[in-house]
């Protein structure tokens, strides 16, 4: 397998494919981890360019993340991109962790600020925003750096424009690709892309797609992020509220249509699936889009 930097993956004409997974919580027996690896075997058949692994607040799941990173690279032989957050963390600890992950032959990292953990007693302010982390990584490693973008604005930003101004700081610091927060409304995204152009932000975009798996998951997500739900999606979610099979089927169709329109728009360089550690919906969408041919 060849290890590829973000600029190589996202510069080709071919639509890049990536998945986000998270280290399973409360997994004393390792059962959830084994299940995750089986799901990844299914997703592997679509030839993803990379798999990204989330990072727990304050590094809470570091060891498990490292096991997963190693599995993806050495066993599945797929490029892996760890997420990394800097909030409340000492510069020295960040430098040490970066050294540690570089041992795993990774080429790429998603640099994030993160959210302040609620149960923390001391919060170091060595890094206040993600642009400072991007700068630190670019100055101290050879890693390619991705950053987060919010098509409807970050939840704490006063408005979309100020959030994009802050995104620009991450790009100027060396952010090479934008991975977006989940977004269900292509019109909002197209507006966002126009705004990015106003700020002269022209780096490739990997669009975050979230196939909804259940009504409960939808409700939880709505309480955490600033995302609008188009009427068509909302109507379907309420219609199939009590049947998770029907909700999954509806969401697969909705996301397939959304992804196809994004591909046709030629405004994105990659599809990034928030898999929630499950292969079923993501693979059905990729089948519909013809990724298995
Ligand atoms: P920043 O870019 O620093 O932005 C945070 C806020 O501060 C924004 O409102 C922004 O407008 C403002 N801001 C930014 N820079 C400045 C500046 N220089 N001066 C003033 N204001 C500024 N969280 C996790 O804990 N683990 C994960 O693995 C994880 N993965 C994610 C993956 C993706 C693709 C996305 C979109 C989010 C992810 N998150 C993750 C959530 C993320 O950590 C939170 O959304 C966090 O609140 C913001 O992180 P950021 O890197 O976007 O922060």
Q: Which atom of ligand 1 is nearest to the CA of 112?
A: 51
Q: Which atom of ligand 1 is nearest to the CA of 110?
A: 32
Gap from CA of 112 to ligand 1 centroid (Å):
5
Token pair, residue 50, equals: 């990379």
Ordered by start, the domain boundaries in the chain are 6-289
Token pair, residue 156, equals: 């704490």
Instruction: Indicate the top mutation candidate among 62, 69, 112 to test ligand 1's pocket, ranked by most ligand atoms within 8 A of CB.
Output: 112
Pairing of strands 144-149, 175-180: parallel
Q: Which atom of ligand 1 is nearest to the CA of 111?
A: 51
Q: Which residues are catalytic?
A: 20
Q: What per-residue confidence (pLDDT) applies to 293?
A: 65
In the chain, alpha helices (H)? 6-9, 31-44, 62-70, 91-102, 130-140, 160-172, 186-198, 215-224, 231-239, 244-265, 280-289
Instruction: Indicate the top mutation candidate among 154, 171, 176 to test ligand 1's pocket, ranked by most ligand atoms within 8 A of CB.
Output: 154
Cα dihedral: 214, 219, 220, 221 (round 10): 90
Q: Which atom of ligand 1 is nearest to the CA of 170?
A: 2
Token pair, residue 60, equals: 């809470």
pLDDT less than 70: residues of the chain: 1-2, 293
pTM of the full predicted structure? 0.98
Token pair, residue 229, equals: 């739900």
CATH 3.90.25.10 fits 6-289, yes or no: no
Q: What per-residue confidence (pLDDT) applies to 4?
A: 87
Reading phi first (left if > 0) and then psi (alpha if -120 to 50, else beta), residue 94 is in alpha
Q: Of all protein residues, whose CA lies closest to atom 45 belonging to ligand 1? A: 114
User: Any residues with Cβ below 6 Å from ligand 1, and which?
Assistant: 54-55, 57, 83, 85, 112-115, 129-131, 148, 154, 156-157, 162-163, 166, 169-170, 179, 181, 208
Gap between the Cα atoms of 222 and 217, Å rounded: 9
pLDDT in tens, 176-206: 999 999 999 999 999 999 999 999 999 999 9
Gap from CA of 49 to ligand 1 centroid (Å):
24
Q: Of all protein residues, whose CA lies closest to atom 40 belonging to ligand 1? A: 114
Q: What per-residue confidence (pLDDT) applies to 1?
A: 67
């Amino acid at each position: 397998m060849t290890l590829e930097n973000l600029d190589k993956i996202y510069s080709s004409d071919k639509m890049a494919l990536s998945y986000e997974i998270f280290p399973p919580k409360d997994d004393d027996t390792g059962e959830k981890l084994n299940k995750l690896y089986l799901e990844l075997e299914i997703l592997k058949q679509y030839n993803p360019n990379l798999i990204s692994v989330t990072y727990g607040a304050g590094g809470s799941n570091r060891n498990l993340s490292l096991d997963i990173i190693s599995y993806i690279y050495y066993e599945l032989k797929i490029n892996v991109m760890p997420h990394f957050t800097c909030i409340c963390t000492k510069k020295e600890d960040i430098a040490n962790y970066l050294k540690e992950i570089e041992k795993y032959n990774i080429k790429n990292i998603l640099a994030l600020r993160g959210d302040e953990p609620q149960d923390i007693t001391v919060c170091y302010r060595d890094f206040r925003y993600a642009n400072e982390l991007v700068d630190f990584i670019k100055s101290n490693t050879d890693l390619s750096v991705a950053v987060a973008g919010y098509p409807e604005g970050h939840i704490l930003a006063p408005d979309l424009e100020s959030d994009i101004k802050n995104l620009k700081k991450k790009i100027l610091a060396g952010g090479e690709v934008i991975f977006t927060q989940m977004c269900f409304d292509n019109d909002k995204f197209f507006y966002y892309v126009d705004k990015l152009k106003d700020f002269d932000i022209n780096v490739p975009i990997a669009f975050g797609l979230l196939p909804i798996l259940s009504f409960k998951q939808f409700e939880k997500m709505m309480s955490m992020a600033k995302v609008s739900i188009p009427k068509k999606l909302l109507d379907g979610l309420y219609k199939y509220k009590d049947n998770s099979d029907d909700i999954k089927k509806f969401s697969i169709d909705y996301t397939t249509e959304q992804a196809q329109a994004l591909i046709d728009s030629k405004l994105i360089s990659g599809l990034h699936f928030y898999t929630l550690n499950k292969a079923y919906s993501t693979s059905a969408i990729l089948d519909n889009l013809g990724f298995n041919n």
